[in-house]
Homo-oligomer: A and B are copies of this chain.
Amino acid sequence: MRDDHMDIPTYDDMLAAEERIRPHIRRTPIRTSDYLNELTGAQLFFKCENFQEPGAFKVRGASNAVFGLDEEQAKLGVATHSSGNHASCLSYAAMRRGIPCNVVMPRTAPQAKKDTVRRYGGKITECEPSTSSREETFAKVQAETGGDFVHPYNDPRVIAGQGTCSKEFMEQTDGLDMVVAPIGGGGMISGTCLTLSTLAPETKVIAAEPEQADDAYRSFKAGHIIADDAPKTIADGLLVPLKDLTWHFVKNHVSDIYTASEEEIIDAMKLSWKHLRMVIEPSCAVPLAIILKNKDAFAGKRVGVVITGGNVDLDKLPWN
């Protein structure tokens, strides 16, 4: 186990991550849509992290953690608890390095998610869908395997890795007035803050959150972390609460947080599929939803939108 998980990552950590993960991730393209520009009055730039091989930006942070391990720790591999993109991206990165990856997942997680983790060689240990069972099971798995715990977002290596996305974004667009990303645990938003606060301090960082899981919004307004027990939203990548590291970045560098209803999220998702012709997750439709809802805040601006992932159950689309 590393003992610096509570350290705030620095801009140099992000630069080191960029070098480290370059062979293992894609420099994803930027998309634009005249139609969505007209509709919003903003000049939108979409950074397509759904086009990473495992379909989500989380491959950046996961790869930074995996490829930063020393040889001794690498032999024991990595471990995490997640039922989402972090589990598959960590498995993917571990597979590329040829080291073990142990994932604790609720037995109720969708079969498709389990299949993806296994396709990338991750070993799943199932727990009951409760925090106590997850923690107990994870402690056991970690004790048995010695795998290095890579938290889905509250880990400086993960945040530094996610920060590489904004660096590419600024290089590919010649600058932006603001960057909008969804917020759940705050990994992507923290990485964005980390990079932009040094590289482009005039670029605002805006977080987009589902109304039905608006703990970050309420934390931001209250000035301290508020964690909800079990929020329910279609944006299933955004259910988790802020933690100390991500709260640090949200508190200090985020300009504003806006929220959107379930219906607004679904509408924005369908609009993206139709006009960007991309498969995107509900979670990453939240930025477009809040832009459409608060046009005055974005009109006339150069707005970067992080399309965080594209892993969707095609048999269960929310508009069918």
Chain A positions within 8 Å of B, measured between CB atoms, are: 29, 31, 33-35, 50-51, 53, 55, 270, 273-274, 276-280, 310-311, 314-315, 317, 319-320
Contact = CB atoms under 8 A, between A and B. Distances in A.
Given A51-B276, A274-B279, A277-B280, 7 more contacts: A34-B53, A51-B277, A273-B314, A277-B311, A278-B278, A278-B279, A315-B319
Contacts of A310: 277
Contacts of A31: 51
24 contacts: A31-B51, A33-B53, A34-B53, A35-B53, A50-B277, A51-B276, A51-B277, A55-B277, A270-B314, A273-B279, A273-B314, A274-B279, A274-B314, A277-B278, A277-B279, A277-B280, A277-B311, A278-B279, A314-B317, A314-B319, A315-B319, A315-B320, A317-B320, A320-B320
Contacts of A278: 277-279
Contacts of A270: 314
Contacts of A320: 315, 317, 320
Q: How many copies does the complex hold?
A: 2
Contacts of A53: 33-35
Contacts of A315: 319-320
A259 to B, nearest CB: 25
A115 to B, nearest CB: 11
Contacts of A29: 29
A170 B274 CA distance: 28
Contacts of A319: 314-315
Nearest to A310: B277
A29 B274 CA distance: 18
Which residue, of A273, A274, A276, A277, has the highest number of chain B Cβ atoms within 10 A? Answer: A277
Nearest to A307: B277
A278 B317 CA distance: 15
A314 B273 CA distance: 8
Which residue, of A35, A280, A314, has the highest number of chain B Cβ atoms within 10 A? Answer: A314
A318 to B, nearest CB: 11
The 8 lowest CB-CB distance pairs between A and B, nearest first, are A277-B310, A277-B279, A29-B29, A50-B277, A34-B53, A273-B279, A320-B320, A273-B314
Contacts of A314: 270, 273-274, 317, 319
Contacts of A280: 277
Nearest to A112: B274
Nearest to A50: B277
A54 B240 CA distance: 38
A312 B174 CA distance: 33
Contacts of A274: 279, 314
